[in-house]
Amino acid sequence: MQKQYPVEYFQSIAVSNPELHWFAIADSAQDITLPEALKRPSRSLFDAEPGSPLAKKSPHLVELSSPVEGGPCWRWISRYDGVTPSITILASKLSFSPLFSRLKECAEVILPDGETMFFAFWDPAVLGTLVGQEDDFTLHVPGPVLTLGQQANLSEIITTWWYWDRAGIFHTIALPRQLPEAARAPFHLDQAQVDSLVEASLPDHLLYFVRLNQPHLLDAIPELQQYRIVCAALQSARSIGLEQMRDLVNYVCLMLFYKDEMLQDQVILVLLDRVRNKEISFDEAMQLFP
């Protein structure tokens, strides 16, 4: 695991494995300059028409030049700090078209009730959770969420996969090679998998609502620290029985406002204890905060 500037690392792999093709999955929803900034052929995994509103908010498979050849795409990657989770790098023995077809199949999942939905397996913020990346200590849900059969599907088409976590740390995903028969895409998710994915994205949803409604509370707090505060606040909120989104957002806002006092002030602690014992609602407790 390391910080940015891994291009020399990629070059050494390319020299040792000349049969590999190199790609990025670049998410234009997270970075509006992508995939154009990489200056390489690309295609939306949602099969959206180039330039359409959906294409501007979708992940793109980008065909990179070899790291040995370099070029604008690798110069962009060398400057990428990983703080905004928008790109992953992968190497495959497949060329662009067959790899695109297989990844596109994985871009949709079937839920327990039979409904289908987009599946953001390319998102660096949740990719580690999907495969259970043991050296990614930024994950709210450690995972793995995907079954061994579902991971086998990915290991059939991807030789090696890399991503940057929320702290900008660079990870190599160790897709297991000795697996059961691969599950066919689209993947069928059971309720436990759905619940884990919802939980994995919950801190980001909480942060979104805080930024939308009380952005001043986040002033001068680095982004990664914001995320860690929210994860700690979520655990604390659940310890007193809070589960509704409105209550969780309010609890996070109070943690940001009161800081250490939230769990040290005796008046606040008594109020939170009363909420835990269901003597008063959290709304009622907030009205009595000092």
Which DSSP state fits 288?
T
Q: Over the stretch 28-57, which tens digit does the pLDDT of each residue have?
A: 999 999 999 999 999 999 999 988 999 999
Residue 226 and residue 246 in one domain = yes
Identify the domain containing residue 243 by its residue range: 197-287
- What percentage of the chain carries pLDDT values higher than 70? 97
Torsion (CA) 53, 59, 64, 70 in degrees, nearest 10: 90
65-74, 122-131, 167-176: least confidently modelled range: 167-176
Residue 238 CB contacts under 8 Å (≥ 6 apart), including other chains:
none
**Which of 136, 164, 189 marks a domain boundary?**
189
Going by pLDDT thresholds of 50, 70 and 90, the confidence category of residue 5 is low
Say yes or no: 149 and 204 in one domain. no
Taking 80 as the threshold, does the pLDDT of residue 184 lie above it? yes
One domain, residues 88 and 115? yes
Cβ neighbours for 49, distance < 8 A, ≥ 6 positions apart: 55
Q: What pLDDT shows up at residue 127?
A: 94
Q: Which residue has the tokens 């929803």?
A: 29
261-289: pLDDT as tens digits: 999 999 999 999 999 999 999 999 999 99
241 inside domain:
yes
**In terms of pTM, does the model score above 0.85?**
yes
- Write the Ramachandran bin of 65: left for phi over 0, alpha for psi from -120 to 50, otherwise beta: beta
Report which of residues 82 and 240 the model is more confident about: 240
Order of all β-strands in the sheet with 187-188: 116-118, 108-110, 187-188
Same domain (yes/no): 137, 214: no
State residue 2's pLDDT score. Answer: 47
Instruction: Work out the average pLDDT over 145-162.
Output: 93
Judge whether residue 243 has pLDDT over 90.
yes
Q: Which residue is listed with tokens 């939306």?
A: 44
Quickly tell me which residue has 């400057």 as its tokens.
79
**Based on the domain organization, do 76 and 131 belong to the same domain?**
yes
The total domain count for the chain is: 2
Dump pLDDT digits (tens) for 117-153.
999 999 988 999 999 999 999 999 999 999 999 999 9
* Residue 280 belongs to some domain of the structure: yes
Task: Answer for the pair 92, 158: CB distance below 8 angstroms, yes or no.
Answer: yes
Q: Are residues 130 and 245 in the same domain?
A: no
pLDDT at 76: 94
Confidence of residue 1 (pLDDT cuts 50, 70, 90): very low
Same domain for 206 and 73, yes or no, is no
